[in-house]
């Protein structure tokens, strides 16, 4: 999940890491010598279409088998803020257990609630406002962006990227 390198005296380097258990979801901190090796983890991926959310459970249809799969809110995590019906995502599996989803780096979402733009707000984006997107996510955008506009959002940073073309 996260790592830092620390160079000590006489050329020794340690690596501080925050690791996540793929099965239980628990995290732990660990320090180790930079020469120490870790086992590779093989994650299988399957393409799936997002169908709907129902009381903290997210339903997907696997593209290769057309099987319906339900993942808990814990497995979906923050990705739920960017999911819309019909979207294709990668579902990760570890030892046959579905453990999470991977989104594209950017998604296009429509603004459903926004204060009207004030005359004089130009494309230089110096005035920001908060809007609500079709997924329920609230996001700070430049003042020239209005209701019913589609925008591109980074799923990595959660920030506005640009107006969709």
Q: What is the DSSP string of 147-162?
A: TT-EEEEETTT--EEE
Structure tokens at 34: 């930079």
Mean pLDDT of 64-71: 92
Q: For the domain that residue 115 is a member of, what is the CATH number?
A: 2.40.50.140
pLDDT in tens, 69-117: 999 888 888 899 999 999 999 998 888 888 888 899 999 999 999 887 6
Whether residues 116 and 139 fall in one domain? yes
Query: Using an 8 Å Cβ cutoff, are 153 and 109 in contact?
Result: yes
User: Higher pLDDT residue, 16 or 119?
Assistant: 16
In a domain, 62, yes or no: yes
Hunting for tokens 């925050």 — which residue is that? Answer: 18
Whether residues 129 and 79 fall in one domain? no
pLDDT at 1 over 60: no
Query: Using an 8 Å Cβ cutoff, are 61 and 88 in contact?
Result: no
Burial of residue 150 (CB within 10 Å: 0-12, 13-18, 19+) is middle
Please provide the size of the chain in residues: 165
The percent of residues above 90 in pLDDT, for the chain, comes to 39
Q: How confident is the model at residue 122 (pLDDT cuts 50, 70, 90)?
A: low
d(CA 13, CA 31): 10
Mean pLDDT of 52-65: 93
In a domain, 14, yes or no: no
107 closest CA partner among 147, 155, 149: 155
Whether residues 98 and 110 fall in one domain? no
- Return the minimum-mean-pLDDT range out of 32-41, 105-114, 118-127: 118-127
Please tell me the predicted confidence (pLDDT) of residue 81: 92
Query: Using an 8 Å Cβ cutoff, are 139 and 157 in contact?
Result: no
Please tell me the predicted confidence (pLDDT) of residue 126: 67
Q: Give how many domains the chain has, as a whole number.
A: 2
114 closest CA partner among 84, 144, 154, 80: 144
Please tell me the predicted confidence (pLDDT) of residue 118: 65
Please tell me the predicted confidence (pLDDT) of residue 143: 86
Query: Taking the complete model, does pTM exceed 0.85, yes or no?
Result: no
Domain range enclosing 74: 44-102
């Amino acid at each position: 999940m996260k790592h830092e390198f620390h160079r000590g005296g006489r050329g020794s380097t340690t690596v501080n890491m925050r690791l996540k258990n793929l099965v239980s979801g628990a995290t732990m901190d660990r320090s180790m010598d930079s020469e120490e090796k870790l086992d590779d983890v093989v994650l299988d991926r399957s393409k799936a279409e997002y169908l709907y959310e129902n009381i903290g459970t997210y339903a997907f249809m696997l593209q290769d088998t057309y099987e319906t799969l339900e993942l808990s809110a814990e497995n979906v995590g923050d990705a739920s803020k960017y999911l819309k019906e019909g979207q294709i995502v990668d579902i990760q599996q570890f030892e046959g257990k579905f453990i999470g989803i991977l989104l594209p780096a950017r998604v296009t979402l429509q603004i459903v609630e926004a204060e009207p733009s004030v005359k004089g707000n130009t494309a230089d984006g110096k005035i920001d406002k908060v809007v609500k997107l079709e997924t329920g996510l609230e996001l700070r955008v430049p003042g020239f962006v209005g209701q019913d506009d589609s925008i591109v959002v980074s799923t990595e940073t959660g920030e506005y990227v640009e107006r969709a073309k």
